[in-house]
Amino acid sequence: MSTAEIYSPGLEGVIAGETAISTVEGGLRYRGYPVGELVAKCCFEDVAYLLLHGDLPTAAQRDDFHNRLAAARRLPEPLRDLLRALPRDVTPMDALRSAVSIVAHFDPDVADNSPAANRRKAERLLAQIPTAIAAQYRLSRGLPLVPPRQELSKAANFLWMLRGVEAPPEHVRAFDVSLILYAEHEFNASTFTARVVVSTESDLHSGVVAAIGALKGRLHGGANEKVMDLLRAAGGPETAEAWLRAALARKERIMGFGHRVYKTGDVRAGILKEHVARLAAAAGQTRWEETAEIIERLMAQEKNLYPNLDWPAGRLYHVLGLEPELYTPIFVISRISGWCAHIMEQLANNRLIRPRARYIGPAARTVP
């Protein structure tokens, strides 16, 4: 069989490239470090540095990195004006897609595709994206902007800009863990999209804009937004089993379960589930956790499907009091580190990504 005749729908199982950034084989690892160890011993900034620079930072490198990010958090005034002018019903992901395009125009390195310039651009986007998300959210509700604070961590600063009050340490820690877990995941749809774009020798910002478009879909990043809808539809622990059996009988897709790569469970889901359980118990909101537990058990028994990261993440963000429309933009706050690492890796050893298609149209014919 020739290469042109080999076909795998959705490219399932196809090796489309090489990467030194992460692997899902034998458990998720970022540049060799198991994600569970990173969660236990690092903050998100450490992990972002690891992805962008290749190794965990020293104490001095950590301080310098934090200072660079803190200094880059403010948005260009024209972008703030644009966010004010957007219709209030614009979705946050659409606004964010536009925001990344706008900040590109004000980036001094925008036309420079060298590794050093791309690393600087990546760090600036890492700093600017949370500010843009928080700004659009507050402006869409007629609220005044809350300026970023340089002394706060990335997780604490985002919650501060969103609410205008400091979040409790346990909220910051759980949110930070979710950012670590969402940061990178090999050749997922949005990451591969970014690599395809820059393989043409396009620029980093264009790759990120395209990745945001890919992440927006409900089969990728949008799945976490649907978790609470599903739990509310289930009604509670008293009705969850009956509801799920009826939904499966109707062949409905149960969002937050199953994964193209993980067949026996997503290690990230197990890690984050512990944080959700603690916060839900502290907040007296165990009803949805009990409902989720019943659905998890039945999905394993009936369909041999297990939770992916979106399942606990949607519940965590609900416990933190965040609106569902923010869940996928939060994904971007984290995954921008992985996207940019892949963009730089693609450009460092580039070959245009141009696969073949299997033709299934009419046989050769002539125009009458």
* Full DSSP string of 310-349: HHHHHHHHHHTT--GGGHHHHHHHHHHHHHHHHHHHHHHT
Are 321 and 173 contacting, i.e. CB atoms less than 8 angstroms apart? Answer: no
Catalytic, 310? Answer: yes
Under a CB-based contact definition with an 8 Å cutoff, are residues 310 and 253 in contact? no
Distance CA 145, CA 197 (A): 34
Residues 6+ apart with CB under 8 A from 182: 309, 313, 330, 331, 334, 335
What is the per-residue DSSP string for 238-287? TTHHHHHHHHHHTT---TTB--SS-SS--HHHHHHHHHHHHHHHHHT-HH
* Full DSSP string of 105-169: HT-TTTT--SHHHHHHHHHHHHHHHHHHHHHHHHHHTTPPP----TTS-HHHHHHHHHHSSPPPH
Return all residues near 309 (Cβ < 8 A) that are at least 6 apart.
Answer: 181, 182, 224, 266, 268, 269, 272
Set 171, 205, 220, 318: catalytic member? 220
Query: Does the annotation count 94 as an active-site position?
Result: no
Whether 185 is a known active-site residue: answer no
Compute the residue count for the chain. Answer: 368
Q: Of these residues, 171, 185, 259, 342, which one is catalytic?
A: 259
Catalytic residues: 220, 259, 310
